[in-house]
Structure 1
Amino acid sequence: MSAGTTSPVIGTHNGHFHADEALAVFLLKLLPEYRHASLTRTRDAEVLKTCTIVVDVGGVHDDNILRYDHHQREFTATFPGKQTKLSSAGLVWMHYGKRIISAVTGLDVQSADSELLYQKIYEEFVEAFDGNDNGIAAYDPTALRTAGIEKKFSDKGFSIASVVNRYNYAPSAREGAVGPTENGTTTSGAPAPKGKSQDEEDSRFLRASAFVGEQFSLELEDRFQSWLPARAVVKQAFSERQQYEPKGRIIVIPYRSEGVPWSDHLYALEEETGSQGQVLYALFAENGEPNSKWRIRSVSLDGGSFENRKGLPEAWRGVRDEELSRVSGVPGSVFVHASGFIGGNVTFEGALEMARKAVQI
């Protein structure tokens, strides 16, 4: 760094931390201007004034002065087209998401692909951070109680937010824990306090931020390298589905060595064409060899659901090989899962015949 220049400083609050600011800080450091920024964790208003950019503290949301807090009473901002109030993670993503995508993937900020990723990653990843931090449940708890729906087990320790919370109490005296630097400053960039409490807290925060950051990076990498290219493949398959079944209830997904994440795109294409719920089964090869076996997969009611639009016939479920071929009337049948969500045949023609029979039963 040349003489006279000052390293940028990211500011956030000290004390107990949450998943949203842990992600917000990681996201900012993906941008070129903050890649080498130091971090100050404090609630001291005078110290925060010296920070280049501040998230999750300060009582101000103003993009013009790089302040991104969401705790003020009058704050109501949401991501475009959404209803979930933003947290610091959502604020950073809303203002910088397209630039972050460009910095990581090389996509043009104004490209259609960048817009798709910007929207998808908010919906599938960032929005949950916003909802959790603002106390917004995925389902209306009053409606669930009214309907008499009770949870079968506790899953509160299973979320990213709960994992981040554990870092608040985790010991920092581990390999890789970060303490004071040689110049007497903590990783936050602030003077090292007497004792180790602030150092330990900063260390735990950085570990939590690295954890949520890794999850984000994996999400973006998968969406960019696999999900995004798959859209064109699924769109082509969707347009050709009537050749396999007149009502378009069967889709055939071409084999690709890296796989084709088809379900998200199928739901989107159905919505775009006004044919929601039409496709019942997807066919795909187990590998790229000419003699590959084929699978038949029931389409889920929606993304992440364990319920199917139409499971494979009850009489086929849990049956294998020759017995399944006899029961189904389709030679070469290999198996159907006991739940009816997937099955297989030794040939494409056999799998297609199974699907054609299944839509009629």
Structure 2
Amino acid sequence: MSGNDSKKLKVEVPPKTIGTHSGTFHCDEVLACYMLSQHPDFQDHKILRTRNQDLLDQCDIVVDVGGVFDSNKKRFDHHQSTFNETFSSLRPELDKTEDIKLSSAGLIYVYYGETIIQEILKKLNYSTLTATELSIIFVKIYKGFIREIDGIDNGVPQFESEPRYSISTHLSNRVKNFNPDWTDTKTPEEIDELFNQAKAYVGEEFLDKIKYYGSKWLPARKIVEEAVDNRFKLHLSGEIIELQRFCPWQEHLRQIEKEIGGIEIKFVICDGGSNDFRVQCVPVKEGSFVCRKFLNKKWFGIRNEELEKVSGIDGTVFCHATGFIGGNKTREGALKMAEKSLTDED
């Protein structure tokens, strides 16, 4: 049932129904409906697209329409002038910095996202997350995926001034393109089918995010956590860590440092394979080549035997010309490079 049903006041909505608005659809309610379809409480529900309030009142849960936000009644509209909820206002125990108003996607994610993530990972036969791991991924997916949709749907500008160019390939715009254009004369049922196609499309992107964070991003964090936990066993300063396996580490290290407080790692050692151990300097911010502490200035741009002679460390292979990374044939040699550089005067 869809579209022009304003006069069908006596129609009864079957049980297990998700209500959302008819007509032009947007990324936020499309994603909200997809997420609900992955939740055990709603996975068997049908979607009813209508603006008939009598019909919406009969639905088990309603998103993006109806003028009511009441999580106890499972009503999740965000268009009313009194609505100002954000991720941080509803989940301050997880993050206190998010100030972008939630869309229907953000609302459904805030209330049901943790269960949805666990269900999806279970279907993919991934390991069950601990409560701490689930909270970490839950926040990360909001910041890395859902927040963008909230911001676009609510018209929150990315910049204080107008950008010099627009981006038309983001997910919200791709969903918009599933709608019929002004030359089409599609029936409400045909538009509902386009909505379902958009829901499947958005779902694939949402699944990809969960797969990535569950199978690649989180395991990398565990490696960095272990290295930080063992930092004093590696060196008394606690300012050098060793990764047991190469992984993307910069983002994780900064977050872990923030969570622990009072630490600042200077060097990261990792086995690059084939007698190639790297010592990398920690940048002052992610992606920067300005580091908290560089390798010894006397080594910049020197390689092999000459570097061994200047440094007094056997097995040295190279030091980058800007001193942000170096290499040694052995783990012990890489550690000595970090140790000597730690005490080098700037």
TM superposition score category, shorter chain reference: 0.7 to 0.9
Describe the shift of the 1:322–1:113 C-alpha distance in structure 2 as closer, same or farther (beyond 3 A).
Answer: closer
1:99, distance to aligned residue in structure 2 (A): 1.8
On the 8 A contact 2:15/2:59 being kept in 1, the answer is no
Amino acid at match of 2:173: S
**Which residue does the alignment assign to 2:116?**
100
**Which residue does the alignment assign to 1:265?**
252
Q: List per-residue Cα deviations over 1:315-339 (Å, max 9, x = no partner).
A: 978x585498479846442574x88
| TM-score normalised by length of structure 1 | 0.71
1:155, distance to aligned residue in structure 2 (A): 5.6
1:24, distance to aligned residue in structure 2 (A): 0.9
Match of 2:276 among 285, 293, 296: 293
| TM-score normalised by length of structure 2 | 0.74
Aligned counterparts of 1:110 and 1:348: Cα–Cα separation in 2: 33
- Alignment RMSD: 3.8
**Which residue does the alignment assign to 2:334?**
351
Match of 2:86 among 59, 78, 85: 78
**Counterpart check, 1:130 vs 2:150:** yes
Aligned counterparts of 2:148 and 2:222: Cα–Cα separation in 1: 28
**Which residue does the alignment assign to 1:88?**
104
Unaligned runs of 5+ in 1: 172-193
Amino acid at match of 1:120: K
**Counterpart check, 1:279 vs 2:265:** yes
**Which residue does the alignment assign to 1:15?**
23
Secondary structure class of the residue paired with 2:19: strand
Q: List per-residue Cα deviations over 1:241-282 (Å, max 9, x = no partner).
A: 245555433221112xxx644334322331233235x12332
1:40, distance to aligned residue in structure 2 (A): 2.5
**Which residue does the alignment assign to 2:165?**
154
1:60, distance to aligned residue in structure 2 (A): 0.9
Amino acid at match of 2:61: I
On the 8 A contact 1:98/1:109 being kept in 2, the answer is no
Q: List per-residue Cα deviations over 1:134-170 (Å, max 9, x = no partner).
A: 223455x1xxx5xxxx96x636235333333343468
**Which residue does the alignment assign to 1:251?**
241
**Which residue does the alignment assign to 1:214?**
204
1:345, distance to aligned residue in structure 2 (A): 3.9
1:344, distance to aligned residue in structure 2 (A): 4.1
**Which residue does the alignment assign to 1:46?**
54
Q: List per-residue Cα deviations over 1:44-102 (Å, max 9, x = no partner).
A: 32332343322111111112222111000111222222332211111101111222133
**Counterpart check, 1:163 vs 2:183:** no
Aligned counterparts of 2:38 and 2:177: Cα–Cα separation in 1: 25
**Counterpart check, 1:69 vs 2:77:** yes
Q: Across the two proteins, how many residue pairs are aligned to each other?
A: 316
**Which residue does the alignment assign to 1:182?**
none
Amino acid at match of 1:8: K
On the 8 A contact 1:311/1:340 being kept in 2, the answer is no
Describe the shift of the 1:117–1:324 C-alpha distance in structure 2 as closer, same or farther (beyond 3 A).
Answer: farther
Match of 1:55 among 50, 56, 63: 63
Describe the shift of the 1:115–1:248 C-alpha distance in structure 2 as closer, same or farther (beyond 3 A).
Answer: same
Secondary structure class of the residue paired with 1:32: coil
